[in-house]
């Protein structure tokens, strides 16, 4: 069976790329089609794979200023020639679900989220644009309207949809008017994560620096608490560093080995955003450490209140501060937390994907 994989962007390594990695392990010879590939940012990830990029890759500043080329992305995805494949697997939070396949080809799309900046986060997205992007900000609204029309149409093209959480399933039904065939939680690399006998004095947040991730909320809360908070992640952190007190430590990008160590020794993991799923929160639990999470989104599928973590109900500094203080008077069993997290393992993910393919292809 000839298989192709389609991915939105290979410009940074996160949860979506872990899903793609698992797909690539199931079908190691499958080429990967993507709009952009930044080899430097991806480091060694997928370096041994057959990666096929869109023509946008060669346009000026495409990898760094991708917003300039939003109107071109639908046609760029549609230009991928997938006519030689029996099975196409796309994993999408934006454009890859919109590839065009033959009637005889089975297209299964794993949906991380309906395109955030077109639907749930449009206003936050526009407000995040500043400086030289102000012109883009003024031109974007009518372009986004056209992209929404394409996005709904593109979501009808796959033969089958899989969502990564119950939260995302509801959003797919709301925006795309389709019912996903199945929920399959993303894979968590649990084998390299261990329970530590030694616990540090810090709390931990690992995140890309995007507005909806609400890293700013965690920083403001821990400024008030005056408790050490380690921040791991990449992106535009200038504004975050401006508001951070001396108890906030920015570590930037860290290796998987260092990340595993940080997770295992943290007092707890802070998850302040409404996430589609939240792989890193599950990685914290696989390390035996509890999660303090905003009670919305994918966290409702993964965190068990009082057993593997705690929820705060309002996305405010005051509410998070109160919950951290409550956490300090509680005890959690690391073994039970890890046992719960193992239900989200990569092995389980790959098994479910294979079964889904065997059933529908």
Picking from 276, 154, 303, the residue whose alpha carbon sits closest to that of residue 208 is 276
Residues in contact with 338: Cβ distance below 8 Å, sequence separation at least 6, in sequence order:
190, 195, 285, 286, 287, 288
Q: Is 98 in contact with 35 (CB distance < 8 Å)?
A: no
Picking from 272, 302, 276, the residue whose alpha carbon sits closest to that of residue 113 is 276
Query: What CATH number is attached to the domain comprising 207?
Result: 3.40.50.2000
Residue 251 in this model has a pLDDT that exceeds 90? yes
Q: How far apart are CA 30 and CA 22, in angstroms?
A: 12
Residue 334 in this model has a pLDDT that exceeds 80? yes
Tokens of 241: 């560093």
Kindly state the average pLDDT of the residues 165-193. Answer: 94
Same domain as 72, residue 62:
yes
197 lies in a domain? no
Q: How far apart are CA 79 and CA 110, in angstroms?
A: 20
251 lies in a domain? yes
Same domain as 172, residue 62:
yes
Residue 120's pLDDT band, with cuts at 50, 70 and 90, is confident
Tokens of 78: 């549609």
Tokens of 300: 């409702």
> Total domain count for the chain?
2
Same domain as 311, residue 165:
no
pLDDT in tens, 10-44: 988 888 999 999 999 999 999 999 999 988 888 88
pLDDT in tens, 67-108: 778 899 999 999 999 999 999 999 999 999 999 999 999 999
Same domain as 158, residue 18:
yes
Tokens of 156: 């009808």
Any alpha helices (H) in the chain, and if so which ranges?
Answer: 15-26, 39-42, 73-78, 122-128, 134-155, 166-176, 215-225, 238-243, 256-265, 279-286, 299-302, 317-327, 334-341, 346-360
The sign of the torsion formed by the CA atoms of 212, 213, 215, 217 equals: positive
Same domain as 171, residue 125:
yes
Residue 135 in this model has a pLDDT that exceeds 90? no
Same domain as 151, residue 10:
yes
Same domain as 219, residue 159:
no
Average pLDDT score over the chain: 92
Picking from 222, 217, 216, the residue whose alpha carbon sits closest to that of residue 248 is 222
| The pTM of the whole model exceeds 0.85 | no
Distances (CA, A) of 20 to 106, 111, 178, 270: 18, 12, 23, 25
271 lies in a domain? yes
Residue 13 has a pLDDT of 85
Tokens of 337: 């937390």
Residue 235's pLDDT band, with cuts at 50, 70 and 90, is confident
Sheet of strand 291-294: strand arrangement: 248-252, 229-232, 203-206, 269-271, 291-294, 309-312
Task: Give the count of beta carbons closer than 10 Å to the beta carbon of residue 258.
Answer: 12
Task: Give the count of beta carbons closer than 10 Å to the beta carbon of residue 42.
Answer: 16
pLDDT in tens, 291-331: 999 999 999 999 999 999 999 999 999 999 999 999 999 99
Kindly state the average pLDDT of the residues 55-76. Answer: 85
266 lies in a domain? yes
Q: How far apart are CA 228 and CA 250, in angstroms?
A: 11
198 lies in a domain? no
35 lies in a domain? yes
DSSP for 322-358 reads HHHHHHTT----HHHHHHHHGGGBHHHHHHHHHHHHH
Same domain as 42, residue 172:
yes
Same domain as 265, residue 310:
yes
194 lies in a domain? no
Tokens of 121: 């986060």
Strands 229-232 and 248-252: parallel
Same domain as 323, residue 352:
no
Residue 238's pLDDT band, with cuts at 50, 70 and 90, is confident
Q: Say what percent of the chain tops pLDDT 90.
A: 77
Residue 194 has a pLDDT of 94
Same domain as 87, residue 214:
no
- Note down the domain range covering 36: 3-187+346-360
Tokens of 37: 């590939």
Q: How far apart are CA 337 and CA 285, in angstroms?
A: 6
Angle at 131 between CA 127 and CA 134, to 5 degrees: 60
Residue 125's pLDDT band, with cuts at 50, 70 and 90, is low
Please tell me whether residue 305 adopts helix, strand or coil conformation. strand
193 lies in a domain? no
Same domain as 121, residue 57:
yes
């Amino acid at each position: 069976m000839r298989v192709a994989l389609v991915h939105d962007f290979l410009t940074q390594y996160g949860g979506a790329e872990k899903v793609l990695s698992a797909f690539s392990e199931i079908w190691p010879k499958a080429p990967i089609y993507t709009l952009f590939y930044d080899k430097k940012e991806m480091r060694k990830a997928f370096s041994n794979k057959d990666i096929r990029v869109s023509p946008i890759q060669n346009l000026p500043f495409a990898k760094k200023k991708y917003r300039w080329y939003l109107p071109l992305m639908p046609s760029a995805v549609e230009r991928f020639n997938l006519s030689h494949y029996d099975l196409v697997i796309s994993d999408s939070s934006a454009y890859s679900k919109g590839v065009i396949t033959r009637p005889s080809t089975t297209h299964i799309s794993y949906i991380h989220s309906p395109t955030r900046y077109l639907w749930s986060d449009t206003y936050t997205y526009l407000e995040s644009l500043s400086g030289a992007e102000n012109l883009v900000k003024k031109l974007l609204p009518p372009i986004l309207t056209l992209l929404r029309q394409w996005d709904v149409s593109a979501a009808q093209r796959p033969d089958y949809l899989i969502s990564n959480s119950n939260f995302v399933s509801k959003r797919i039904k709301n925006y795309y008017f389709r019912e996903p065939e199945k929920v399959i939680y993303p894979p968590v690399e649990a084998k390299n994560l261990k329970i530590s006998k030694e616990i540090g004095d810090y709390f931990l947040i690992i995140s890309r620096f995007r507005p909806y991730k609400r890293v700013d909320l965690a920083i403001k809360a821990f400024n008030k608490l005056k408790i050490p908070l380690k921040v791991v992640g990449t992106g535009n952190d200038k504004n975050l560093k401006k508001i951070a007190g001396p108890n906030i430590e920015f570590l930037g990008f860290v290796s998987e080995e260092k990340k595993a160590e940080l997770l295992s020794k943290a007092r707890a993991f802070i998850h302040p955003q409404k996430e589609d799923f939240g792989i890193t929160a599950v990685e914290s639990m696989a390390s035996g450490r509890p999660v303090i999470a905003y009670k919305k989104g994918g966290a409702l599928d993964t965190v068990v209140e009082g057993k593997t973590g705690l929820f705060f109900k309002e996305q405010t500094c005051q509410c998070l501060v109160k919950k951290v203080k409550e956490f300090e008077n509680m005890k959690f069993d690391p073994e039970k937390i890890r046992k719960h997290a193992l239900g989200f393992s990569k092995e389980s993910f790959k098994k479910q994907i294979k079964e889904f393919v065997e059933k529908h292809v």
